[in-house]
Amino acid sequence: MLSTANISIGLVNYKSPEVTSVCLELLKKAIDVSTIPIWVIDNDSGDESLEYLKSLDWIRLIERKPVAGEAGFIAHGAGLDMILERVGTPYLLILHTDTFIYDPAIIQTMLNICEADAGVAAVGCLEPIWRSRPHLMWRYVTRGVKYYFRKMKIKIGLPSRWPKLHYETYLKSFCALWNVNIIRKHDLHFNMENRIPGYAMQDRLSQLGCKIIAIPPREMFSGLDHIEKATASTQGGVRINFRTAGKYQEKLKRARNA
């Protein structure tokens, strides 16, 4: 069990009762909740997940009312910024509600990296899920072909969607540790430039000479699991195929039995 006075943990919940409850119950087993504050923002769920959160006396729950017409990722980022305003620890660990911590050693590893170098602003992983090496190579090659093909079309004046990089460049927010003092020093926020929460901040921190450390996926996923797009799919925002749905249920079953 991890016990430290240097970390707070923050999550944003929105209509995901199943994964949120599993996430928090596993978290309670992995860390000492009497020494590590757990902040949970509810983005006006109005469902059983909110009732569940209200029943927990070991979390710090904040009910947020989103702005009308607010995009989902903007609402999520606004929730993270509410947590950032309130934490009193040097570091803030951001989790998604569909991230399941089995071994707190991975959190300690991230903390050790930060504490060893005052210039480290964030530690996390570039990949949102565990992928085998052949899968990673296949994904890199096929996305690379698409990327350069679209660039060629644009260069010769043919209509094309703007090419998306075929490799990951930003730490993913399903599990990332942030240096609160550095963020506050430069007056930065998770919600910036109408982009995915944390992406613009990573760009700005890199420009300022701060270090963004990426942990290899093999190491990151040795102590946790993440159900990619689980929260979005439970809210009806993402359609998942049968293969993905099978993995979703498999990971949930493992988490419940942990």
Read off the pLDDT of residues 181-229 as tens digits, 9 standing for 90 and up: 999 999 999 999 999 999 999 999 999 999 999 999 999 999 999 987 5
Asked if the model's pLDDT at residue 243 lies above 70, the reply is no
Whether residue 118 sits in one domain with residue 49: yes
CATH number at residue 210: 3.90.550.10
2 occurs within a structural domain: no
pLDDT at 236: 45
> Which pLDDT tens digit goes with each residue over 222-234?
999 998 754 544 4
pLDDT at 66: 83
Q: What is the mean pLDDT of the chain?
A: 87
Pairing of strands 99-101, 224-226: antiparallel
Whether residue 178 sits in one domain with residue 250: yes
Whether residue 139 sits in one domain with residue 50: no
222 occurs within a structural domain: yes
Whether residue 135 sits in one domain with residue 153: yes
1 occurs within a structural domain: no
Whether residue 213 sits in one domain with residue 244: yes
Whether residue 133 sits in one domain with residue 35: no
**Residue 90: which domain range?**
7-127+170-257
Whether residue 94 sits in one domain with residue 41: yes
Q: What mean pLDDT do residues 151-171 have?
A: 78
Whether residue 221 sits in one domain with residue 246: yes
Higher model confidence: residue 138 or residue 219? 219
Structure-block tokens of residue 29 = 């087993």
Structure-block tokens of residue 172 = 């993913």
Higher model confidence: residue 254 or residue 125? 125
Whether residue 233 sits in one domain with residue 184: yes
Whether residue 110 sits in one domain with residue 40: yes
Asked if the model's pLDDT at residue 235 lies above 60, the reply is no
The total of other beta-carbon atoms located within 10 Å of residue 107's CB is 25
Q: What mean pLDDT do residues 117-122 have?
A: 97
Number of domains in the chain: 2
81 occurs within a structural domain: yes
Confidence band, pLDDT 50/70/90 cuts, at residue 155 = confident
Whether residue 137 sits in one domain with residue 253: no
> Which residue type, as a one-letter code, is found at position 54?
K
Whether residue 242 sits in one domain with residue 121: yes
Q: Which residue has the tokens 């190579």?
A: 137
Q: What mean pLDDT do residues 68-88 have?
A: 93
210 occurs within a structural domain: yes
The total of other beta-carbon atoms located within 10 Å of residue 186's CB is 14
Which residue, among 247, 258, 196, has the nearest Cα to 224 in the 3D structure? 258
> Which pLDDT tens digit goes with each residue over 107-116?
999 999 999 9
Contact assessment for residue 219 and residue 109, using Cβ atoms and an 8 Å cutoff: yes
Higher model confidence: residue 234 or residue 248? 248
7-11, 119-123, 145-149 — which is least confidently predicted? 145-149
pLDDT at 247: 65
Which residue, among 201, 176, 198, 173, has the nearest Cα to 187 in the 3D structure? 201
Please write down the HEC assignment for all residues of the chain: CECCCCEEEEEEECCCHHHHHHHHHHHHHHECCCCCCEEEEECCCCCHHHHHHHCCCCCEEEECCCCCCCCHHHHHHHHHHHHHHHCCCCEEEEECCCEEECCCHHHHHHHHHHHHCCCEEEEECCCCCCCCHHHHHHHHHHHHHHHHHHHHHHHCCCCCCCCCCCCCCCCCCCEEEEEHHHHHHCCCCCCCCCCCCCHHHHHHHHHCCCEEEECCHHHHCCCEEECCCHHHHHCCCCCCCHHHHHHHHHHHHHHHHC
